[in-house]
Amino acid sequence: MTVLESALVLFGLLLVLLAGGVWIAIALAAVAWFGLQFFTSTAPEASLFQAFWGSSASWTLAALPLFVWMGEILYRTRLSEEMFEGLSPWLGWLPGRLMHVNILGCAIFGTVSGSSAATCATIAKVALPELKRRGYDEKTCLGSLAAAGTLGILLPPSIIMVVYAVAAEVSIIKVFLAGMLPGILLTLLFSGYIVAWALANPGRTPKDEIRLPLAEKLYRSRLLVPCVALIVFIVWVMVIGWATATEAAAYGVLGALGIAWLSGGLSRATFWQSLMGATRLSCMILFILAGASFLSTTMAFTGIPRALAEWVASIDPNPYGLIAILALIYILLGAALDGISMIVLTTSIVLPMIEKAGFDLVWFGIFIVLLVEIAELTPPLGFNIFVLQTMTGRDSNYVALASLPFFFMMVLAIALITVFPELATWLPDALLGVTKK
């Protein structure tokens, strides 16, 4: 059997298992075992144990459950309410006014959460009732929340970024830094759309009700200090080399516990809930990574990634053509898979092609993360759509249509970082040295 035929058989088997409702980790491991058993002379049992242990026994990967726990702790505090109160006095002059709180609140909370769904749910829980009470357009509010919630996986520290960095064997710190400028760019694009919408529909934005003096605005801004200080500290200790990503994550947990205690949100019950929530999510991710590692081993033995890379080299495609094809594939995958699964399922095959085409793996990580963000808004498995559907009782199609303009903002962001890759690579190169090409 040829390499192409082997690849088609394995891909078909994976689709059958996933369509049958088999857990993703189990499906990955089963396909890997099948491939080693029938397409190679290697005993699958030995590779299974090596892959599962090797993928889990990683100091770098230890950052993942710590960042997850940090987000879980802050999710159960009054942080989102305090951010709304601290941001809202400064936005009365902007067209769209308090709808920008959705964007900026998600951007700030996303940097300490690392989870798209948690960011969306937390900010929506506070912002939606307040915006509805004041008479803001519900559809635009829902669209902005669904889209801005995805900033939780683009702005560091991000769970998805940790997964990609481990899978691609690149520096977690560089991937974190690479996401900062694109994250700021996407935040500005989202707010820019709200400004344009508000100017085009002046009668649908309520007037600013309260004009606060500067002293009161500054006083309320104190509520933003704990969160911003934690973000700056985590990034700073990694950049100056004082701490690795794992150690910075441990500092982040301590900082989150401190913020929760100061805000009155830390109790025995919330501590236990955050710990168990982080354990469940971390175990799920690690199990998927173990199955993906086993599948990567199978791919190496069958020669599928090498054959694909050689095929890419032989046809010498236009790099932008390759990126366009991959973008389409990831958008389609996003309609059926979550972001972590998209990354671990494809990296063993896609990364050799990317390297052959001459792309920077750190840049490609941000490219994938932006596509995963789009997947969060893509029916039928867009997690942020599910979150808002549950919270508002609106149909998922209504929420998806509301987020459509912001979907195009994400596409624009992908186009911009593709044409100007320095948007992703400049900051890590400037602070940590030139990334590996």
Tokens of 29: 């491991």
Tokens of 243: 């701490």
Nearest to 345 by CA among 414, 293, 306: 293
Tokens of 286: 């690690």
Can you tell me which residue has the tokens 């088997």? Answer: 13
Residue 324 Cα distances to 320, 331, 417, angstroms: 6, 11, 13
Q: Are 144 and 406 in contact (CB under 8 A)?
A: yes
Q: φ, ψ for residue 42 (rounded to 5)? A: -90, 135
Nearest to 29 by CA among 38, 17, 41: 17
Residue 152 DSSP symbol: G
Query: What are the sequence ranges of the domains in the chain?
Result: 24-30+43-432
**pLDDT in the model for residue 114:** 65
**pLDDT in the model for residue 361:** 92
**pLDDT in the model for residue 80:** 64
**pLDDT in the model for residue 437:** 39
Residue 211 DSSP symbol: -
Q: Dihedral angle at the C-alpha atoms of 232, 236, 237, 238, nearest 10 degrees?
A: 110
Nearest to 249 by CA among 117, 159, 361: 159
**pLDDT in the model for residue 60:** 63
State which amino acid sits at residue 28: L
Residues of the chain with pLDDT under 70: 1, 60, 80, 112-115, 117-118, 122, 126, 208-210, 305-306, 308-313, 315-317, 335-338, 379-383, 390, 433-437
Nearest to 351 by CA among 309, 388, 318, 392: 309
Residues in the chain: 437
**pLDDT in the model for residue 313:** 61
